[in-house]
Structure formats: structure tokens, C-alpha cells
């Protein structure tokens, strides 16, 4: 299993292949549908974004309420396709990677290839486990959205799998290999 200290580099992205298991350590940002919509609206209006997207990773997640004594509530991935309409523009603006669950549209796969990004998937149904990988969490933007606000997370050994690599290869398009008995 590879370990990547963030921010992720162009070389690291190019070296990743579909199916690679990776542990991420460093800063990632959460954002779901409504936060994506607001980011794109700001971009289209020519306004400054609340975070610099260059070489960053967005995790499609809306953490649950933080229990007393914890850093963050459960923070499992949400379905990535809900962000597909916004993703190509964010990749064009410098976003390098996304973390979520599920397949992506043809347009997103093309944008990942064009802008040399990567799409990671992580463990669905394991929000409590993933929360244990968060060392620090702070709301960063769009706080009125509650759990759908953008949070800055500092993670340690956050487990992901490469689902779409920078060459546009897609784990969801692989044909199952039948083993011989």
C-alpha cells in the first residue's frame, strides 16, 4: 500500500493506476452538492473562492454532528455522481483529486484525463472508521450549509483506492476476470 503525504504532486498522480490502494496524510477538504454549486457560482461570477483549489483534494462528505470529546462525527463518502455537473470546471481550476463512492460520468472521466487528476473511492458504510483517521477538522466556508459546509480536514493514513487514474482508466469499466478452477 502506497502512502502519500499531501499536497499530492503531479508525479504521484501520474504514477497511480486503477486499483492502487493508498493511505493519504495531510489536508483534504469536504464538499457536497450545495457547496459545489456555490463554488461554481462564485467562479462564474469571477469572485474569489474561499479556498485555493490548486493541487487540492475534495472529499465528497458531509460529516455528522461531532460527539462530545471527538474531533468529528461519522464521515463516510457520499455518491460522487451528484457532483458530476460541477467537477470539470473545478478540475480546470486546479483541483487534482476527489474522494467519494460510485462511478463518474463520461464527462468527468474525460476531464480527469484532460487535467491530469485522479478519482479515489473509499470505504462506504465505514464513516466511524474514516472519522478515526481525522486528526483535525474545522469549518472553512458556507457554514450555513451545516454538515454540507466545506470543512478542512487533517487526515492521517486515510484509506482510498484509485478508481479513475490520470489516463482515464476506470475501475468501473473493468471486465471481471474469471479464475480457473
Residue positions annotated with a catalytic role: 36
CA gap 133, 165 in Å, rounded: 24
- Per-residue burial over 75-102, b if 16 or more Cβ lie within 10 Å, else e, is bbbbebbebbebbbebbebebbbbbbbe
What are the residues facing 99 on neighbouring strands?
A: 59, 120
* Residue 140 dihedral angles phi and psi, to the nearest 5°: -115, -40
Collapsing DSSP states into helix, strand and coil, what is residue 126? coil
Phi-psi region of 139 (alpha: psi -120 to 50; beta: other; left: phi over 0): beta
Q: Cell 481550476 belongs to which residue?
A: 93
Percent of residues in the chain assigned helix, strand, coil, to nearest 5? 30, 30, 45
Amino acid at each position: 500500500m502506497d502512502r502519500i503525504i499531501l499536497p499530492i504532486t503531479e508525479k504521484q498522480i501520474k504514477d497511480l493506476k486503477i486499483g492502487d490502494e493508498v493511505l493519504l496524510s495531510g489536508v483534504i477538504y469536504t464538499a457536497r452538492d450545495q457547496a459545489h454549486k456555490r463554488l461554481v457560482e462564485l467562479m462564474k461570477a469571477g469572485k474569489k473562492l474561499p479556498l485555493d483549489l490548486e493541487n487540492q483534494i475534495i472529499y465528497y462528505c458531509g460529516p455528522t454532528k461531532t460527539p462530545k470529546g471527538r474531533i468529528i462525527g461519522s464521515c463516510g463518502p457520499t455518491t460522487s455522481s451528484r457532483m458530476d455537473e460541477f467537477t470539470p470546471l473545478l478540475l480546470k481550476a486546479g483541483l487534482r483529486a476527489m474522494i467519494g463512492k460510485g462511478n463518474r460520468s463520461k464527462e468527468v472521466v474525460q476531464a480527469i484525463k484532460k487535467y491530469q487528476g485522479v478519482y479515489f473511492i473509499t470505504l462506504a458504510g465505514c464513516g466511524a472508521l474514516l472519522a478515526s483517521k481525522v486528526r483535525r477538522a474545522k469549518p472553512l466556508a458556507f457554514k450555513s450549509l451545516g454538515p454540507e459546509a466545506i470543512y478542512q480536514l487533517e487526515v492521517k493514513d486515510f484509506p482510498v483506492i484509485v478508481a479513475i487514474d490520470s489516463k482515464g482508466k476506470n475501475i468501473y469499466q473493468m471486465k471481471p476476470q474469471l479464475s480457473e478452477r
